[in-house]
Structure 1
Amino acid sequence: MNVHVPRTGKRLSSPIQLAILALMAGSAHAAADVPAAEQAVADKNSTAITEVYVTATKRSTSLQKTPVAVTAINAAALDDNHVQTLQDVVNLVPGFAATGQGDHGVITMTLRGIGNDSAKTEYADPEVATFVDGVYSPRPEGATALLFDLEAIEVLRGPQGTLWGRNSTVGAVNMQTVKPEIGSKAGSFEAGYGNYGRLGARGAVNIPISDTLAMRVAVVHEQHNGYVSYQRAPDVPLAAQHAAADPVIAAWNKAHPGNPIGFQPINPNMFVSNGQKYSAQDQSAARLSVLWQPSADLKWNIAYEHYMDRGTPSMNLMQTPRAGQDFWSALIDTAPSVDRDSHSVRSRIDYNINKDISLAYIAGYSRFNGSSTFDQDGGANLPTSFTTGGNFQANNTVWSKYKNYSHEVEIQSTGKRDVDWLLGLYYANEDNGIRFDIPIMNGTEQGTVGWQGSFIQPKETVDSKAVFGQATWNASDALHITGGLRYTSDERKNIGGTNNGWSDLTAPQVPVNPSMNPLAPGSGFSTYQHNDATFNDHKLTGLVRVGYDIDKNNMIYASVSTGYKSGGLQDGGKPYGSETLTNYEIGSKSTFLGGAVRMNNSAYYEKFKGFQFSAPVTNPDGTRGLATSNAEGAKVWGLETEIAAKITPDDRIQLTAAYTNATLKHLIGGSNDYALPACPVAGISTCLDVTGNTMPHSPKFAAQVMYQHRIALADGTLTPRISAHYETASWLSVFNLGEPDKQKSYTRTDLGLRYDAHSSWYFDAYVRNVEDAKIKTSAMNANGPWQAQYLPPRTFGINVGKTF
């Protein structure tokens, strides 16, 4: 964890930052947890890998006895790999990818080659469902945006609807936070510093209150300066500006004599030259958790979490920089900003009805408000005058808000039985709203209007109801047969949504901004699309699985499961259909050499139907919107392996690898992010037939290897580690538009050196992306030159912490 040292001139003004200091100030009064420390020493001296338990089947079971393709990452592994966001998790999980989306500043996930880059707003749900303590998180927020005080992360591959409250198409990510412990006085804090002005702090403390009550407080703050420098404003001679602008001015004034325009020199102050840069981090979160356990049969865990983001979005960079310009720089005419807050409450009550049956009630509530500004054009083209050459385009979230809550009741068998079973009821509601403005001006912000729109969705709701169940017949000590069913019913409504375009040529030629009301008379805007509509969908999905324990160290399994994601509503109130997936899978889990080596393998074939392809488009009449269409589907198959070996008590190596083949079936796709040919299909301006193309973010082969060695010293231990990720080339869009639309094969290496003192303090140094590789996560050429989003450049730093 990292102690926050304020930037020059910046006060510790937020409650979260103050909580960090308060936590650290009080940490010295806590006592050490001696039994846990003794166990840790015993584990280090053993030649066997520590047993890992997971909750993938809604029961605590050994990872090696769980017949599910699941990757479990414990707290130690999260620390060793400096995991802060989901993008840091992907290298640890076979077949997993996460991409950054600049204009909304969120992360979208792909698993086994299937995902949707547009699952970042109220329009689309993700194919990979995210849960925190079993509570579904529909949008990236809180613990899902800034990972802290986690006990473990479990990534489950394949449909998970027969056990989990919210349905998922291709998999689920479950994050388990650290829970309070009755009677324990334990905690930790960490402080860190790094390049790009990185400063951070995190810590947690467990507070015993009584024999039945305990509380835990966890806080985190992470900040670093932006990676993207500001380029100087273009220096165009005044005579050249006149030569470019005068013919345009003359043509406009002839066509619009009642609304003439005059020449303006390019104003250099329109270009951003200082202030917070793009790709900066400034995030804080705090979590208060309480455990009440009045008896052995009843316990209640409840937590409140507040997350705040004051960083900046990631920038679209030129793939080939202009002469004389740094790669990590851009000509910026829209200053970056992110202002987001979320509040979440998660509750779980467990009650043992008797020795054979238990009941759980899981509830969640979250509320989000935010805004952001983003330079969509990224300075791809230089202006030749105030209204020619380049273009000004901003993607501005004027306001965004949502509330969601969920209720889940589970009743299941307990103990060792011939038949293990679970039944569940689930209900969730989302209420979303957003205003999203896109001003596009010719040349510069001073120029004439190219196109601009304001998309206002005041209320868009989702109601999801489900009943699900699963039973496992333990036919013998070795043979286990599982079946499960789920019925889901979804209703979506868009109430009062409008898409508004600038259409009054007599109105002032100025970019739309938050002070304007596009719905007001005389604003220059008119409503060209109403989005009011209701959509209903439902589906029955299921699971059949057979697991067989060959012996105590080896097991195999085979399964067929189906997944479903509801259809919904797009601009204009038009519906789109649901996605369905049938997953055929076989796998094995083995332990060798007395627990020193573990190997888990899986092979799968997926029939994916109705893939929901979403993209911003221009309609034939010149209006714009977000369109979603259903592809015929995709064929996906692959192999995955995870190997962990403790070569000696001091040497450990871990390998994950995945081979993926993901091919689209029939789809005619359009997108404003790419220069595409005129479309022969009615209703789409530009498009491309992408039938047979490879799905984006699905490299044929990807592997991660980690090695660490422990060196015993007089006063502690020193552990150097190296982690290397390799993957073959992968496409960045369904269009497969050549090398600029592809991330070429690459290797990325991370280094670490940790010193653990016997007095429970530690020092950890790290270097991430040693090669300083430029790794693309998305691409576009709508402005002509190819641009892309990238993972961070080389970063390095140190952390110092103490457990108590």
Structure 2
Amino acid sequence: MTTRAQKSRGSLATPIHLAVLAMLAATASAQAQTAQSPAAAASAADSSQEVTVTATKRTTTLQSTPLAVTPISAVELDKQHVQTISDVVHLVPSFQATTEGDHGVITMTMRGIGNDSAKTEYADPEVALFINGIYAPRAEGAASLLFDMQNIEVLRGPQGTLWGRNSTVGAVNMTTAPAELGSNFGDISGGLGSYNRYGARAAFNFALSDTFALRAAFVHEQHDGYVDYQNPKLPSLADQQTAYDAFNAANNAAAAAQGNPPPATKPYQPIDRNTFVQAGPKYDAQDQSAVRLSMLWKPTRDITWNASYEKFLDRGTPNMNLMQDPRPGEKFWSALISVAPYLDRDVNTFRSRVDWNLSDYLALDYVAGYSDFKGSGDFDQSGGATVPTSFTSGATVQEDRTNWSHYKNWSHELELQSRGTHDVDWILGLYYAAEDNGIRFDIPISNGTQQGTIGWQGSFIQPKETVASEAVFGQATWNLGSSLHLTGGARFTWDDRKNEGGINWGWSGTPAGQPIDPGTDPATSGLFGAGHNDGHYTGTKATWLARANYDVSKNFMAYASVSTGYKSGGLQDGGLHYGPETLTNYEVGTKNTLFDGTVHFNNSAYYEDFKDFQFSAPVTNPDGTHSLATSNAKGAKVYGVESELAAKVTPDDTVQLSAAYLHTELGYLLAGSNDYTLPACPDPKISKCLDVTGHRLPHSPTGSLQALLEHTFHLANGDTLSPRVSFHYESSSWLSVFNLGQGDLQKSYSRTDLGLRYQAMKQWYVDAYVQNVEDGRIKTNAQNSFGVWQSQYLAPRTFGVNVGLAF
């Protein structure tokens, strides 16, 4: 059994505030207003009951913003018990998030386009994640807790002109709650739930002077793992001896047929039950804490500086690959585990934004950020898919171990824009971002059990992977009268990537008594051959936007746009290059306000021409070496329709509905992956592959529907009671580009979440909830390389209660 000492919980007491995604876009709208701080925007929204967004890097009303954007307020995030991005998918059309166990991260897909391998130091996402307008390039950030948020905006369609890097098909911008001048206030809350869930949160605002304020926020969330440890049901000693002899005989015969001497083996020994994990932290557990200190300084009427420091700790466990069809007598949420789960992550982040109103006409904004991530982890990739027949036969144990990873990124953006509404509203910007990433990732693979012979093992050491990206951009909207608005924008990007000293250490076949451990130096062990990854990639790209929107009436706006997205090419194992991918999006939409503003009905239809899609997967090369390979598909065709309706039926009744239709078709691609059992490949550069031309893209259900109903009962003492029902349905969707039948398919499903909130006049509340009422088994990925189909799943049914107080 492989195990690592679990660090003590770095518990930072307190809040769960949920939030993630305030978006990006490209366009200045017809009714563009004077740029405001996030706090001012929220205040305006509260007073006017009109939802505002910052998708065009101006504060505009949702109904006057000519692009497909879904805003989610802090109140809504709290009511829906949102903790991570994966909780948001049931609130936004055409949006998916998947879990990936060996790195314990979340990857995002929008309108059918994403990259499940955007979890490594090599691959980038197609959906960009921003926090307070600052790009977060590493996928680990997406798994962070969402707490003390102001709002989230999810922008669909390419956002490369205004928002920049890797927003090929969309962007998510999370805005944290800023410090506020003028008053002292706060809130505290805590809750209990199923699987020994405990959560606590708090936020405090301190107005220290007329010009300076601080805000402190804390959160801690934990629950036990969902996956129980199976008691191994092992063969008798006699059967183990027989299987051992047959295993050796088969290996000797294979070697003789090839003219080779008999392979080295180990003397017989019975299976040691201690190689199987039976106790300790379980897979799929949460133990996360965070603290954030925010500052607001307003030295003059025209200068505002918001800054924050955030510390995030993760001592939970990865999600496990479960057998889709459990062995007889075993529970679904259980696995035969040989590698104990382990996660240890620390993230330190600094964010800063300075807004300077140079005049009544001009504003200058400077946005900067820095993040430092350190992490390690251990994961049982094989997940006990098969039971060993002897200590060295009948099963495979693969350990995916991140010995260490260290990712640093920083960015600077300078924006000059017009204030107010004029004949021409415009914005100009300069952007610079950089990354310096390193990792050591080991994969020991044993035959039978960890006592057995070595099947293969490798160590991937990338000490310095750097990225530098520079850009200039501009966008302008011509307001031709009061109704017609024409927008044009462009961005030019320079990308530079380097791998310095990266080596793939692959097992040379020399007999090895033990799997590689964190203390092994592959360079001096004599057991490994080296494949060098040094390389240098440079590229440039221009992206652009053209859009027209027309105010047919005060309450009806229509728009049409053509926009492009881009994701840089880069380096892969062996120092090889892969090319950039591009997307051209053609879209039309309407924004409708009905019944005196009580109903918003928004629609969009789009066609996307996706070229050179970057497909990344772990592969075995024809020479027996292993690598992460990225290839460019010829492209993909994607089209669909999205509709969102929000209605205040009565002062006490709220209804929200959204629906999406999606069609995807992949262009020419020979795809290989070690996660799937595939046939021999006709391409000599790939050992096993499948022609996936014409297949549907993964995580792209043809149809999906979200509905939310809430009613408020007014009690005699002025308190309120609000029951809430949230419903999500989606049709079946593939889990990979291979489209390999039922095991590779998430069948159509529905999910219901229930909530009941008692709100007292004295600012305290009690909120009870049940999530995934159906207890549905919702897959997020699939693999069958270990002989049976396995998947990771969204959480089973959970329930709990939260109590909070505002003061």
Distance in 2 between residues matched to 1:247 and 1:610, nearest whole Å: 48
The CA deviation string for residues 3-40 of structure 1, in whole angstroms up to 9 with x for no partner, is: xxxxxxx99963623x779xxxxxxxxxxxxxx9xx99
- Structure 2 vs 1, CA of residues 250 and 689 (structure 1 numbering), >3 Å: closer, same or farther? closer
Counterpart contact for 2:557–2:591, Cα < 8 Å: yes
The counterpart of 1:589, out of the listed 591, 610, 617, is 591
1:551 CA displacement? 1.4
Task: Give yes or no for the alignment of 1:443 onto 2:448.
Answer: yes
Which amino acid counterpart does residue 791 of structure 1 have in structure 2? L
Distance in 2 between residues matched to 1:316 and 1:172, nearest whole Å: 29
Task: Determine the structure 2 residue equivalent to 1:94.
Answer: 93
Task: Determine the structure 1 residue equivalent to 2:19.
Answer: none
Distance in 1 between residues matched to 2:529 and 2:385, nearest whole Å: 30
- Structure 2 vs 1, CA of residues 334 and 260 (structure 1 numbering), >3 Å: closer, same or farther? closer
Distance in 2 between residues matched to 1:632 and 1:306, nearest whole Å: 42
Task: Determine the structure 2 residue equivalent to 1:65.
Answer: 64
Task: Determine the structure 2 residue equivalent to 1:16.
Answer: 12
The CA deviation string for residues 228-286 of structure 1, in whole angstroms up to 9 with x for no partner, is: 00001232211111111134456779977896621111000000001000000000111
The counterpart of 2:386, out of the listed 360, 381, 384, is 381
Counterpart contact for 1:142–1:285, Cα < 8 Å: no
Task: Determine the structure 1 residue equivalent to 2:30.
Answer: none
Question: What TM-score do you get using the length of structure 2 for normalisation?
Answer: 0.93
Q: Secondary structure at the match of 2:12?
A: helix
1:803 CA displacement? 1.1
Task: Determine the structure 2 residue equivalent to 1:659.
Answer: 661
1:509 CA displacement? 2.1
Which amino acid counterpart does residue 536 of structure 1 have in structure 2? T
The CA deviation string for residues 442-479 of structure 1, in whole angstroms up to 9 with x for no partner, is: 10000001111111111101100000000000111111
Task: Give yes or no for the alignment of 1:744 onto 2:743.
Answer: no
Distance in 1 between residues matched to 2:244 and 2:7, nearest whole Å: 47
The counterpart of 2:786, out of the listed 739, 759, 783, is 783
Task: Determine the structure 2 residue equivalent to 1:219.
Answer: 218
Counterpart contact for 1:459–1:496, Cα < 8 Å: yes
Distance in 2 between residues matched to 1:559 and 1:11, nearest whole Å: 51
- Structure 2 vs 1, CA of residues 393 and 143 (structure 1 numbering), >3 Å: closer, same or farther? closer
1:712 CA displacement? 0.3
Distance in 2 between residues matched to 1:114 and 1:151, nearest whole Å: 28
Q: Secondary structure at the match of 2:792?
A: strand
Map 1:647-796 to 2 at 5 A. Answer: 647-715=649-717, 716-796=719-799
Task: Determine the structure 2 residue equivalent to 1:4.
Answer: none
Counterpart contact for 2:265–2:453, Cα < 8 Å: no
Task: Determine the structure 2 residue equivalent to 1:287.
Answer: 292
Distance in 2 between residues matched to 1:632 and 1:563, nearest whole Å: 16
Q: Secondary structure at the match of 1:104?
A: coil
The Cα RMSD (Å) is: 1.9
Q: Secondary structure at the match of 2:801?
A: strand
Map 1:453-492 to 2 at 5 A. Answer: 453-492=458-497
- Unaligned 5+ residue runs, structure 2? 1-5, 17-38
Distance in 2 between residues matched to 1:249 and 1:272, nearest whole Å: 27
Distance in 2 between residues matched to 1:377 and 1:739, nearest whole Å: 20
Q: Secondary structure at the match of 1:64?
A: helix
Distance in 1 between residues matched to 2:116 and 2:570, nearest whole Å: 16
1:132 CA displacement? 0.3
Distance in 2 between residues matched to 1:562 and 1:161, nearest whole Å: 7
- Structure 2 vs 1, CA of residues 12 and 319 (structure 1 numbering), >3 Å: closer, same or farther? closer
The CA deviation string for residues 754-785 of structure 1, in whole angstroms up to 9 with x for no partner, is: 00000000000000000000000101100111
Q: Secondary structure at the match of 1:472?
A: strand
Task: Give yes or no for the alignment of 1:111 onto 2:103.
Answer: no
The counterpart of 1:313, out of the listed 315, 318, 324, is 318
Counterpart contact for 1:165–1:425, Cα < 8 Å: no
Task: Determine the structure 2 residue equivalent to 1:362.
Answer: 367
Counterpart contact for 1:65–1:589, Cα < 8 Å: yes
Task: Determine the structure 1 residue equivalent to 2:120.
Answer: 121
Which amino acid counterpart does residue 460 of structure 1 have in structure 2? E
Counterpart contact for 2:373–2:408, Cα < 8 Å: yes
Distance in 2 between residues matched to 1:117 and 1:601, nearest whole Å: 28
Distance in 1 between residues matched to 2:198 and 2:212, nearest whole Å: 34
1:202 CA displacement? 1.0
Task: Determine the structure 2 residue equivalent to 1:342.
Answer: 347
Distance in 1 between residues matched to 2:270 and 2:140, nearest whole Å: 44
The CA deviation string for residues 456-508 of structure 1, in whole angstroms up to 9 with x for no partner, is: 111101100000000000111111100001001101100001111122524x3
Counterpart contact for 1:242–1:385, Cα < 8 Å: yes
Name which of structure 1's ranges 153-162 and 263-272 shifts more when overlaid on structure 2.
Answer: 153-162
Task: Determine the structure 1 residue equivalent to 2:527.
Answer: 524
Distance in 2 between residues matched to 1:241 and 1:655, nearest whole Å: 59
Map 1:33-48 to 2 at 5 A. Answer: none
Name which of structure 1's ranges 766-775 and 178-187 shifts more when overlaid on structure 2.
Answer: 178-187
Q: Secondary structure at the match of 2:180?
A: coil
Task: Determine the structure 1 residue equivalent to 2:577.
Answer: 575
The CA deviation string for residues 718-752 of structure 1, in whole angstroms up to 9 with x for no partner, is: 00010110000000000000111000001100000
Task: Determine the structure 2 residue equivalent to 1:629.
Answer: 631
Distance in 1 between residues matched to 2:54 and 2:444, nearest whole Å: 48
- Unaligned 5+ residue runs, structure 1? 1-9, 22-35
Q: Secondary structure at the match of 2:368?
A: strand
The CA deviation string for residues 86-116 of structure 1, in whole angstroms up to 9 with x for no partner, is: 0011111110000000111000000001000
The counterpart of 1:514, out of the listed 514, 518, 524, is 518
Counterpart contact for 2:125–2:166, Cα < 8 Å: no
Task: Determine the structure 2 residue equivalent to 1:7.
Answer: none
Which amino acid counterpart does residue 512 of structure 1 have in structure 2? I
Task: Give yes or no for the alignment of 1:273 onto 2:273.
Answer: no
- Structure 2 vs 1, CA of residues 67 and 260 (structure 1 numbering), >3 Å: closer, same or farther? closer
Question: What TM-score do you get using the length of structure 1 for normalisation?
Answer: 0.94
The CA deviation string for residues 507-563 of structure 1, in whole angstroms up to 9 with x for no partner, is: x3211110111122x342221x11000001111110000011111111010000011
Which amino acid counterpart does residue 59 of structure 2 have in structure 1? S
- Structure 2 vs 1, CA of residues 250 and 590 (structure 1 numbering), >3 Å: closer, same or farther? closer
Name which of structure 1's ranges 318-327 and 545-554 shifts more when overlaid on structure 2.
Answer: 545-554
Counterpart contact for 1:249–1:261, Cα < 8 Å: no
1:66 CA displacement? 0.6
Task: Give yes or no for the alignment of 1:85 onto 2:84.
Answer: yes
Distance in 2 between residues matched to 1:184 and 1:334, nearest whole Å: 52
1:186 CA displacement? 1.3
- Structure 2 vs 1, CA of residues 476 and 305 (structure 1 numbering), >3 Å: closer, same or farther? same
Counterpart contact for 2:588–2:606, Cα < 8 Å: yes
Task: Determine the structure 2 residue equivalent to 1:405.
Answer: 410
Counterpart contact for 1:252–1:260, Cα < 8 Å: no
Counterpart contact for 2:695–2:737, Cα < 8 Å: yes
Counterpart contact for 2:566–2:580, Cα < 8 Å: yes
Distance in 2 between residues matched to 1:260 and 1:489, nearest whole Å: 54
Counterpart contact for 1:318–1:786, Cα < 8 Å: yes
Counterpart contact for 2:277–2:340, Cα < 8 Å: yes
Which amino acid counterpart does residue 171 of structure 1 have in structure 2? G
Name which of structure 1's ranges 282-291 and 140-149 shifts more when overlaid on structure 2.
Answer: 140-149
Distance in 2 between residues matched to 1:11 and 1:574, nearest whole Å: 38
Q: Matched residues, percent identical?
A: 62
Q: Secondary structure at the match of 1:519?
A: helix
1:603 CA displacement? 0.4
Counterpart contact for 2:106–2:143, Cα < 8 Å: no
Map 1:201-220 to 2 at 5 A. Answer: 201-220=200-219
Which amino acid counterpart does residue 579 of structure 2 have in structure 1? G
Distance in 2 between residues matched to 1:436 and 1:595, nearest whole Å: 55
Task: Determine the structure 2 residue equivalent to 1:5.
Answer: none
> What is the number of equivalent residue pairs in this alignment?
770
Distance in 2 between residues matched to 1:536 and 1:513, nearest whole Å: 36
